[in-house]
Amino acid sequence: MQLSCETPADWWEVEALYDLCFAPGRTALSSYRLRDGVDPVAELCLLLRDDSGVAAAIRYWPVQVGGAPVLLLGPIAVHPTHQSEGLGAWLMRESLDRARALGWARVLLVGDAPYYGRFGFAVLPEVTMPPPTNPARVLGLELVPGAWAGVRGPVEKVAGAPGHSTRDAT
């Protein structure tokens, strides 16, 4: 497997992987409304590629909660022929390490707490995603100790901001 950052030339191949791995209508989810018209954080959009193409992919997007910059993780997908090989965990750990090194303080995702808990994610009861999102699936991770302290409210889109310009170290 080769690990690399996603390039604009990879966009449609990654979209095809997401279409394969997720149910039809995935782009109607609330998290997609937060991504629409916003550049992803290019340094954190990673691919694992083998001889047959993209085996796994992860993307991150800038959002804000209570005025604080936050990384919105997702989607992450592993091609069905490579599931249970640890590729998703590899992408999670690598991308979170890179986010920390780039100075990001906090990460948010919508997912299953039992699965993402192994990476340190926990339910964020005071953070709300646009409806319809189950509050028990709104999870956060501190890349800097205390980074979620006092950060609460609705998750908001960062209108027109390039993905790499909204980091902070708090």
Return the pLDDT at 163.
43
> Which pLDDT does position 168 carry in this prediction?
38
- Encode pLDDT of 7-39 as tens digits: 999 999 999 999 999 877 777 777 888 988 899
Predicted confidence at residue 160, as pLDDT, reads 53
pLDDT tens digits for range 40-91: 999 999 999 999 999 999 999 999 999 999 999 999 999 999 999 999 999 9
pLDDT of residue 165: 33
Q: What backbone phi and psi angles, to 5 degrees, belong to 80?
A: -55, -30
Percent of the chain with pLDDT over 70: 93
Domain definitions of the chain by residue range: 2-165
Q: What is the pLDDT of residue 169?
A: 35
If DSSP codes are grouped into helix, strand and coil, which group holds residue 121?
coil
CATH fold label, 2-165: Aminopeptidase (3.40.630)
- Distance between first and last Cα of the chain: 34
- Alpha-carbon span 86 to 131, nearest angstrom: 32
Rounded CA-CA distance 168/98 in Å is 14
* Residue 159 confidence (pLDDT): 63
DSSP 104: -
Q: Can you count the helices (H) and strands (E) in the chain?
A: 4, 9
Q: What is the pLDDT of residues 138-161, one digit of tens each?
A: 999 999 999 999 999 999 998 655
Q: Contact at 8 Å (CB) between 112 and 137?
A: yes
The pLDDT tens digits for 107-118 are 999 999 999 999
Give dist(CA 155, CA 77) in Å, integer. Answer: 23
**Distance (Å, whole) CA 84 – CA 158:** 34
> Phi and psi for 48 in degrees, rounded to 5?
-115, 125
Q: Count other Cβ atoms within 10 Å, centred on residue 11.
A: 12
Tokens describing residue 50: 């083998």
Q: What is the distance, to the nearest Å, from the Cα of residue 52 to the centroid of all Cα atoms in its chain? A: 24
Q: What percent of the chain has pLDDT over 90?
A: 81
Burial of 159 (0-12, 13-18, 19+ CB in 10 A): exposed
